[in-house]
Each structure stands twice: as structure tokens, then as C-alpha cells.
Amino acid sequence: MSHAFDPTILREYDIRGIIGETLEADDARAIGRSFGSMLKRSGGSRVAVGYDGRQSSPMLEHALVEGLTASGCDVVRVGLGPTPMLYYAEASADDVDGGIQITGSHNPPNYNGFKMVFQGRPFFGSDIQHLGEVAAAGEWEDGTGSVVDRPLIDAYVERLLEGLDGIDPASLADIRIGWDAGNGSAGPALEKLVARLPGEHHVLYAEVDGAFPNHHPDPTVEANLADLRALVADKQLDFGIAFDGDGDRIGAIDGEGRVIWGDQLLMIYAQDLLERRAGATIIADVKASRALFDHVEAHGGKPVMWKTGHSLIKSKMKETGAPLAGEMSGHVFFADTYYGYDDALYAGVRLIAASARLGRSVTELRGAMPDMVNTPEMRFQVEETRKFAAVEEVRDRLANSPAEVDATDGVRVTTNDGWWLLRASNTQDVLVARAESDSEAGLARLMQQIDEQLALSGLERGPQAGH
């Protein structure tokens, strides 16, 4: 017995495919069998399993559990919930050695996939490739594992509320917040959370619906925040918070309807944290604004620029002992009084806490940020075989230029006008570009540099690729 996966589903950070085309129940069974075998060989034996609200998730969960138990692993089923609830199950239980969440994250409804944790660390990159090799060779352990149901949602919500520890609830009595669960798997936990939070709360689309009938659940796309923005304006709320399909990425708008992007949220969290932990290391990905790195430095922190990708960031946090990290994409990681994984519900609670401790409204904190002129993340199709090579060519050409070139992840070039970035996506056949300046004219010059470098490599910033 062995199993060959469609090669497109074994991604850098997770396993993800299209139901009925590249991902079936047999794949889920083989993932369980292979992951379970790898865990057994590493001395582990028990795996927590959760799933999101997609229509295909229960079917995949059933098959995954079959595969895990056939490898001799015991399974703890935590049920329907956001990905961070599964991370919580793995991080907080002494008797759990790994975790798998079935989720399509923010992808269209016909996608689904698996995010994994292995003995307390992210399972990605070479781990996922090795899982494919184990399946292809049929190198599986045999056994008969047990299955127990352990609903965790109430314990998880209780843990989220600890994000407000030390803050007088009376000081938050007048706070008014809008929330948009986007019909994703965070909805049920969110409803339980807001019922326990001080203040007044208005919740949109908390009912789980894998067809996502109201809007696509990706809070980094501004169009998807339209309903939340309208709610905040209509009810004159203090701010609004939105989640992606599986609740590990946060989006936010202030009381004036301005988007608070991932790096801007990190500026607020960093300012709050650095008042209590002077000199702490704060990590952000290469797509983040220069304003963030300057802000961390100005408040006595040590900013570190690192590679994009939630698994890569988590690994870097462990290595450096950083208590806080974040990405432009809305993944925020707290390791000061939390577990170091990305949890958008916890990030929502921590935004309330930061505002209270700093004594300024979220709108005031957003308004105090410098006005940078920047592009959204631009993604354009390029041959898979060319994407990394093209970035290498750009890096080599700029090696002797007067500009400051950072090669942490792709090429980030800093000039007097600001900075521009070109990197290869780890998950798609696209190049990603971004630029930021303090003037429109400066931004235009930076974009011209990107286009010049692409042209020299026989490429152009052609049609934008979606997620």
C-alpha cells in the first residue's frame, strides 16, 4: 500500500487543494497515516484534530482520523472551530503531541487543506515534502489508535479573555466594537467571546457557512471590509475587527473607517508591549512598512525583518525569543503571555487591551501613524521555473549599486525615495512586489525601478494574479 498525492497540494506552509480535483478523502487518509507514522517514530502518540466550516471539512476529518488511528496514533477530536483553537488544543494539553486543522483558510469554497503542528513546532517545508515521500513509499506504521471527543470552545474562550488581565473592566464599559466573522469558523467562538467582554458589541455573519454568502473571508482585501466599515459608520462604533475563514488572520478599521493594516496593528501592539518589556525583539515580515521598524526602535525595541510565511515567522520567534511578531497578511503572534501562534480572536482582545493600557482610542493610535504612500501587494504570474531565478538576477545586478539591498526574502531595496520589494511566492507561480514612499513622485520612481529590473530579466509587471 502506498499513496501518491497530486504534487500541487504539497505546499510550503500547508497542504491545500481543490475538492474533487486535487484533494479527496483518500488523500486525507494518507495524510493521517503518514503524519501519524512520522509522529510515532519521533516518540509521539496523540494528535488533536479540528476542522473549519467548509462543506467538505467533515468528510476530510473522518478520513484523516481513520488514517491517524491506522498508524497507531490516538486522536483527540476538538470539533468545528478556528485554526487557533486547534493550536490551543495542541499547546495547552500535556497529553497531545501534534495537531492537524482541516481548513481552506481564506481560499474559495471549493478549496480545502491541512495546517499542522508537530511536537510543539510548525510542520512545513521539508516536513511536508517528507510526508509526501512517506506516503509514496507506503512507509507506514500499523496500529489501532483510540478516538475521544474533547470539545474545547469554552476553555478556549476563557483563555482568550486572559488577554485583558490587569485591566479594570469598568474602564472598558463604554467601548463599542463591530466584528465580522465572515461566515468563517471563528463565528461560534466569537459569539461566546463578545458575550463575556465588557462594552457593546455588534457581530456580523457569525453563522458558519462554507459557501461564504456575504463576502470572501480575506480581511486583507479592502473590499471585504465594506460591510464592517458600514456597520462602524452606522452605529458610530469605536472600531471594527474582521477575521479570515479560519480565524488566524485579523483585519481592522478605526472609527473613521480607515483600514489598519497588519503592520500598523503591529505598531500598536509593539508600543503597548514595549512599555512592559523594554528592549524586546519584535519581528515583522519583509513586506512591512519602514514606519513599523522605525516605530519599534523609537519605543526602545529591537526590530527584526524576516521572511514572509507564518511557519517561518513562528520558527524565528522560537530562535530569537521574540515576544511579538506579525505579517502584513494579518497573522499576529503573541508569545509574551500567550503561546506564540497566530490567533486573530486573541489579537482582537489584545487590541482592546492595548488601547486601554496606552490610554488612547484605536482611532487616535491609527491617526498618529505617519502617512506613507504605498502600493498594495502586487502579484503577477511568472513561470514556476523562472520565479526564484529572476529574483536572483535582480539581486546580482544590484550587488554594487548605491542602494541598500536586503536579501532576507527576495530583494528589498531602500533608496532616498523609500523602498521596494520583489520576492518569489513560496506557494504559487507568482512574483510579489510592493513599494512605499513618503510621496507620490517617490513612489513612481520606485515603481520605475521595479519595472526596469523586471525588463532586464525579460519580465514585466503584467496581469495581476489572485490568491
Tell me the per-residue pLDDT of 120-139, one tens digit each, with 9 for 90 and over: 999 999 999 999 999 999 99
Distances (CA, A) of 457 to 382, 406, 435, 452: 12, 19, 19, 9
Helices (H), 307-439: 310-320, 344-358, 362-367, 384-398
What is the secondary structure of 33-76 as a DSSP string?
A: HHHHHHHHHTT--EEEEEE-S-TTHHHHHHHHHHHHHHTT-EEE
Residue 220 CA to its chain's centroid (Å)? 11
pLDDT in tens, 364-384: 999 999 989 999 889 888 998
Q: Are residues 204 and 125 in the same domain?
A: no
Q: Are residues 439 and 355 in the same domain?
A: no
Decide which of 84, 117, 152 is a domain's last residue: 152
Q: Using an 8 Å Cβ cutoff, are 270 and 288 in contact?
A: no
Decide which of 117, 152, 187 is a domain's last residue: 152
Q: Are residues 352 and 288 in the same domain?
A: yes
Q: Are residues 133 and 189 in the same domain?
A: no
In a domain, 466, yes or no: no
Q: Are residues 146 and 273 in the same domain?
A: no
pLDDT in tens, 200-244: 999 999 999 999 999 999 999 999 999 999 999 999 999 999 999
Q: Are residues 378 and 363 in the same domain?
A: no
In a domain, 161, yes or no: no
Q: Are residues 319 and 411 in the same domain?
A: no
Nearest Cα neighbor of 345 from 110, 143, 187, 155 is 187
Residue 12 pLDDT class (50, 70, 90 cuts):
confident
Catalytic residues: 105
In a domain, 467, yes or no: no
In a domain, 164, yes or no: no
Total tally of structural domains belonging to the chain = 3
Q: Are residues 362 and 378 in the same domain?
A: no
In a domain, 258, yes or no: yes
What is the secondary structure of 411-431 as a DSSP string?
A: EEEEETTEEEEEEE-SSSSEE
Residue span of the structural domain in which 181 resides = 174-367
Calpha distance 422→395 (Å, rounded): 10
* pLDDT (0 to 100) of residue 465: 55
Calpha distance 219→259 (Å, rounded): 10
Q: Are residues 225 and 345 in the same domain?
A: yes
In a domain, 42, yes or no: yes
With 90 as the cut, is the pLDDT of residue 186 above it? yes
Q: Are residues 37 and 136 in the same domain?
A: yes
* pLDDT (0 to 100) of residue 13: 87
Record the pTM.
Answer: 0.95
Q: Which residues partner with 102 through β-bridges?
A: 51, 114
Q: At what angle do helices 344-358 and 187-196 cross, to 10 degrees?
A: 30
Q: Are residues 236 and 124 in the same domain?
A: no
Decide which of 304, 334, 367 is a domain's last residue: 367
Q: Which residues partner with 79 through β-bridges?
A: 50
Q: Are residues 289 and 218 in the same domain?
A: yes
Residue 347: helix, strand or coil by DSSP? helix
> What CATH number has the domain bearing residue 426?
3.30.310.50
* Residues of the chain above pLDDT 70, percent: 99
Residue 427 pLDDT class (50, 70, 90 cuts):
confident
Mean pLDDT of 142-151: 97
Residue 267 pLDDT class (50, 70, 90 cuts):
very high
pLDDT in tens, 196-205: 999 999 999 9
pLDDT in tens, 430-467: 999 999 999 999 999 999 999 999 999 999 887 665 54
* pLDDT (0 to 100) of residue 384: 85
pLDDT in tens, 33-85: 999 999 999 999 999 999 999 999 999 999 999 999 999 999 999 999 999 99
Calpha distance 366→89 (Å, rounded): 34
In a domain, 420, yes or no: yes
What is residue 465's DSSP assignment?
Answer: P
Give the phi and the psi of residue 449 in degrees, each rounded to 5. -65, -40
In a domain, 302, yes or no: yes
Half-sphere exposure of 291 (CA within 13 A, CB side): 22
* pLDDT (0 to 100) of residue 443: 97
* Helix or strand run (H / E) with residue 98: strand 98-102
* pLDDT (0 to 100) of residue 429: 85
pLDDT in tens, 374-415: 998 898 889 988 999 999 999 999 998 888 999 999 999 999
> What CATH number has the domain bearing residue 324?
3.40.120.10
